[in-house]
Amino acid sequence: MNVVPRRLLHACVLLVPLCWSAVAPAKPADSQPLPDFRKLVKQNEPAVVNISSTQAPAPNRRARTPGLPELPGKENPYQEFFKRFFQERPELPGDRQANSLGSGFIISADGYILTNAHVAQDADKIIIRLSDQRERPAKVIGVDELTDVAVLKIEGDNLPAVRIGDSDALEVGEWVLAIGSPFGLEHTATQGIVSAVGRNLPSGTYVPFIQSDVAVNPGSSGGPLFNLRGEVVGINSQIYSSTGGYMGLSFAIPIKLAMQVVEQLKATGEVTRGWLGVLLQPVNNDLAEAFKLDRPRGALVAQILPDSPAASAGFKQGDVILRYGGEPVEDSSQLPRMIGVTPVGKTVAMSILRNGEPLEIKATIARLEAAEENLTTMDEHSDLRLNVTVADLSNEQRRGLGPDDQGVLVTGIEEGPAENAGLYAEDIILQINHVPVKSASQFVELARELPAGKAVPILVRRDNESLYLAVRLPEVKE
């Protein structure tokens, strides 16, 4: 092992600051000092509470964890790294109760408390511990899993409450502070800056998350995120982690969205959302070319659900929604949130692109309901240009499609244009270059007519959902 002599080490220590001082830029005259959070913490700490919930599990039932949905792809990084604060615990004996700890904050003097849905849901009993260590039972007013927001209520008057800020006004680089109970350590304050706003996560279709580098850990979930004015701008909800602990990225629910949910939960105990009845996908560079867009933008309609507002309005697969109610749609992730906050029964005008031509279409928004289709093979044909083998569908597979859909099943695929485009075995090809596919033999004929060197859309059904892929045949070298 190499050892640096002590005198040389001393010299290095002395030389480093001297070298840096020689090149360090002069301190700007208008530089601002780092913020002092002491007053902010003292003013708001009394309104932050610790939440203990218990639930009596059935025999051999594991403690429930509100995890992420299964995401497509065998090695999708989000599935591994995005985790809720409360990890799944081992099985507990049937006569014991599962305890979980989280954070929350009082939003009104009469005892309404805001926290995360995954902290409060399925609890048989919830205990709120105030800053002065008094404990009070809480009633669940309502839980909304789609935004991960829950409203609780405790008895009391003149309780300390936070001030609600404007999360829409947050800017990247702005200082923020969190107060919560990480690992049960109550009223822990951590600070950082806003890293991004409007962040889209797989687990938050209806939430444009606030991303920050504020250190939050298990137990901080449901706690408030403050701006420098001492106003709540978010609810700490998720972290990006490979271990379950903090790794520099945390995500909060914008308080503006949360308060919209609060009003509905207090009034009716549930949240009503608008529903159009389309399945959407993002537009990448190849799809933009295939659908004759000037650049990647908008929301591509991959599937239209039966008996939906979209079906009644005349939407078609392959439509690209560019504006919703006059507002531009730059990314497909924006549209579900825009539709979700639209009042049920309202008619909304949308600007779309269909076969390269602009069009306006109007749809009357309905109430969001769960709609699922179930997909549960014959003459095979191979196409050497795409390097794919397809087969006619069975009657059972046809029944799983829409009333106007046909298609062919991908039974084999080798290295080539189709594989490069993202096509998999067991996909059902519904259209190729906007032409409906009716049989395996017809598919081969259509594939022969595809232009070389140009991105062409292929509509497929995968895991009960439709999506577009852009396939590009190589140029023919003479």
Q: Of 106-120, 350-364, 451-465, where does mean pLDDT reach its minimum?
A: 451-465
Beta strand ranges found along 145-212 (DSSP E): 149-153, 163-164, 175-180, 188-199, 209-212
Give the pLDDT mean for 32-47.
93
Q: Which of 427, 454, 450, 405 is nearest to 287 (CA)?
A: 454
Separation CA 118–CA 140 (nearest Å): 12
Separation CA 326–CA 411 (nearest Å): 44
Topology match between the domains 274-367 and 380-472 = yes
- Confidence class for position 27, pLDDT limits 50, 70, 90: low
For residue 69, how many C-alpha atoms fall within 13 Å in the half-sphere facing its CB?
9
Give the pLDDT mean for 193-201.
91
CATH of region 380-472: 2.30.42.10
- Confidence class for position 31, pLDDT limits 50, 70, 90: low
Give the pLDDT mean for 231-258.
89
Give the pLDDT mean for 414-426.
87
CATH architecture of the domain covering 274-367: Roll (2.30)
Separation CA 133–CA 29 (nearest Å): 46
Angle CA 7–9–14, to nearest 5? 95
Task: Indicate which residue of 100, 103, 144, 148 is catalytic.
Answer: 148
CATH architecture of the domain covering 37-64+76-271: Beta Barrel (2.40)
Higher pLDDT, 177 or 408: 177
Report the range out of 29-38, 63-72, 335-344, 446-455 with the highest average pLDDT.
335-344
Specify whether 148 is catalytic: yes
pLDDT of residue 180: 94
Give the pLDDT mean for 278-298.
90
- Confidence class for position 69, pLDDT limits 50, 70, 90: very low
Mean pLDDT of the chain: 81
| Contact (CB, 8 A) for 251 and 235 | no
Task: Indicate which residue of 195, 212, 220, 221 is catalytic.
Answer: 221
Question: What pLDDT, in 10s, does the model give residues 316-342?
Answer: 999 999 999 999 999 888 899 999 999
Q: Is the pLDDT of residue 61 over 60?
A: no
Higher pLDDT, 89 or 432: 432
Q: Is the pLDDT of residue 168 over 70?
A: yes
DSSP labels for 28-39?
PTTPPPPP--HH
Separation CA 142–CA 242 (nearest Å): 31
**Environment class of 121 (CB within 10 Å of its CB; exposed 0-12, middle 13-18, buried 19+):** middle
Question: What pLDDT, in 10s, does the model give residues 114-146?
Answer: 999 999 887 789 999 999 999 999 999 999 999
Separation CA 173–CA 188 (nearest Å): 22
Residue 248, Ramachandran bin (φ over 0: left; ψ between -120 and 50: alpha; else beta):
left
Share of the chain above pLDDT 90, in %: 47
Query: What does the domain layout of the chain look like in residue ranges?
Result: 37-64+76-271, 274-367, 380-472
6, amino acid identity: R
Strands 274-275 and 224-227, how do they pair?
unpaired
